Amino acid sequence: MAIVGIESLVYGVEDVERCARFFSDFGLDPVATSNSLAEFTVDEGSRVILRNAADPKLPRSSLVGTGVREVVWGVDNETNLQTLATGVGRDRNVTRDADGTVHFLTDCGLPMALRVFQKRPLRCAPDPVNAPGSVNRMNTHRKWRKRARPRAIQHVVFTAVSFESTYKFFCERLGFRISDLQKGYGAYLRADGAINHHNLLLLNAGLPFPDFDGNPRFHHANFGVEDIDEIMVGANHMERCGWAKSVLGLGRHRIDSALFYYLPCPTGGEAEYGADGDYVDDSWVPRFWEEPLFGYLTFVHNLPPFFRHEPAWKFSYLETELPPHAAL
């Protein structure tokens, strides 16, 4: 075990104060805020850091636009950190901070870092679910919530250009595991010390969707909450605060079973409330989704044009090496 998940998401934004207000309303815990720097945390100990897009402390990279400008991956101990840093440094520039944080670029120019990080244990207690003939909650009502309060940063998503080499870099150099692959669409990768279905999603930058222009960009970050109630209470609160509404609304992905609610974010990209996703380990058998849209959605509140007709139910299991036709 080495990488346990996301330690920090470092954003480069145009308006730090406005973005800080968004994340405060979104439910993150503020640590420090000013007109040039803001920091938030979640129960697990992971952080969101906001810097001005012109801040020289942000790494130079191939990323276009605002949003997450560096992902700091948490590593379980110093020995594993040094092993990973040595491997990454074989063929690229690696810099080290005074606190031991290691910075580098991936094969397609995404800025990443490694830092020793010990996650704090989480305590969640989602309400039992009732169904006809299956009563799990008797003589008691569900929790009444006022706000959403994300407990963890579950994953981050980028569009990538050199698609195949990028996901192979994460697997071969940083120990990530493939959870699922969507043909021509994306690679879902899990850190070797985590059990989230994915901690990183790399999307094909050339997809024919809005905001995909062939350039590497930040797409969204997922913040984990307890259940569907907390998602929708959070969504309602954000709308009451005047933030833009979600385009898709509430939905569930098929590929990782997770409930989602994406909100346009003033950082650029989106901030996602997520709940009830799959957890997997090394016994999980990755799947290859030949019909990407089949994996993308089970249902969604605001049906997009591309999902007007139900896609073919088509996927297979990757029990051996990735077949040539599955190249992304």
**Per-residue pLDDT reduced to its tens digit, 100-130:** 999 999 988 999 999 999 999 999 999 999 9
Spatial separation of the C-alpha atoms in residues 122 and 45, rounded to whole Å: 10
**For residues 149 and 27, what is the distance between their CA atoms, to the nearest angstrom?**
5
255 within some domain? yes
Residue 140 located in a structural domain: no
CA pair distance 180, 121, nearest whole angstrom:
27
Residue-wise pLDDT for 178-226, tens only, equals 999 999 999 999 999 999 999 999 999 999 888 899 999 999 999 999 9
Q: For residues 185 and 82, what is the distance between their CA atoms, to the nearest angstrom?
A: 33
* 92 located within any domain: yes
> Which structural domain, as residue segments, surrounds residue 108?
3-121+150-320
CA distance 192 to 179: 11
> How far apart are the C-alpha atoms of 222 and 26, rounded to whole Å?
12
pTM for the model stands at: 0.95
The values of phi and psi at residue 256, to 5°, are: -130, 10
Is 145 part of any domain? no
Core vs surface per residue 181-209: b (16+ CB within 10 A) or e: bbbebbbbbbbbbbebbbbbbbbbbebee
pLDDT of residue 322: 53
CB contact at 8 A, 140 and 67: no
pLDDT of residue 320: 56
Structure tokens at 238: 């954000």
Is the pLDDT score of 326 beyond 60? Answer: no
Residue 167 identity (one-letter amino acid): Y
- pLDDT at position 323 is 44
137 occurs within a structural domain: no
pLDDT, tens digit, 9 for 90 and up, residues 243-253: 999 999 999 99
SS3 content of the chain, % helix, strand, coil (to 5): 20, 30, 50
Lowest mean pLDDT among 80-84, 154-158, 206-210: 206-210
Provide the domain count of the chain. Answer: 1
DSSP 8-state code for residue 34: -
In a domain, 242, yes or no: yes
**Packing angle between helix 16-26 and helix 228-240, nearest 10 degrees?**
140
Element (H, E) at 180: strand 177-182
Q: Judge whether residue 41 has pLDDT over 50.
A: yes
Which H helix or E strand runs over 8? strand 3-13
How far is it, in rounded angstroms, from Cα 288 to Cα 318?
Answer: 6
Q: Residue 134: inside a domain, yes or no?
A: no
Average pLDDT over residues 39-53: 98
Instruction: With CA atoms as reference, report the closest residue to 253 among 289, 217, 285.
Output: 289
Q: How far apart are CA 116 and CA 72, in angstroms?
A: 10
328, part of any domain: no
CATH classification at residue 186: 3.10.180.10
| In the chain, alpha helices (H) | 16-26, 78-88, 163-174, 228-240, 292-296
The average pLDDT across 49-71 equals 96
Mean pLDDT, to the nearest integer, of 54-72?
96
Q: Per mean pLDDT, which range of 16-25, 191-200, 315-324 is the poorest?
A: 315-324
Tell the residue number behind the tokens 């995404």, with chain if given. 110
Give just the sign of the alpha carbon dihedral 96, 81, 271, 60: positive
Residue 318's pLDDT band, with cuts at 50, 70 and 90, is confident
Hey, what amino acid is at 197? H
